[in-house]
Amino acid sequence: MTKSLVWGTALIILLGAAVLAGGASQPSSTPVAKVAARDPELARCQALGEAGGQDLRCRAAWASARARFFGGAAS
């Protein structure tokens, strides 16, 4: 009885570790591709990085995206 309990516990731990390790190997670059396909101006601004904060076209694109998301008027 005790041996089967130990083996069962070990098996559950190993399976849990395998599931957690498998989830970490998925690519994280898919959101960038989705932004590029949906709005090329936002993708351009994202590629600018920190300089996008001073670009007037980027500010307008972000205001428009916020208005679409939140349902308000673009500012």
Per-domain boundaries in the chain: 39-75
pLDDT the model gives residue 22: 74
pLDDT confidence tier of residue 59, bands split at 50, 70 and 90? very high
Residue 71 has pLDDT above 70, yes or no: yes
Q: Name every residue whose Cβ is closer than 8 Å to that of residue 45 and which is 6 or more positions away in sequence.
A: 52, 55, 57, 58, 61, 62
pLDDT confidence tier of residue 63, bands split at 50, 70 and 90? very high
pLDDT the model gives residue 29: 57
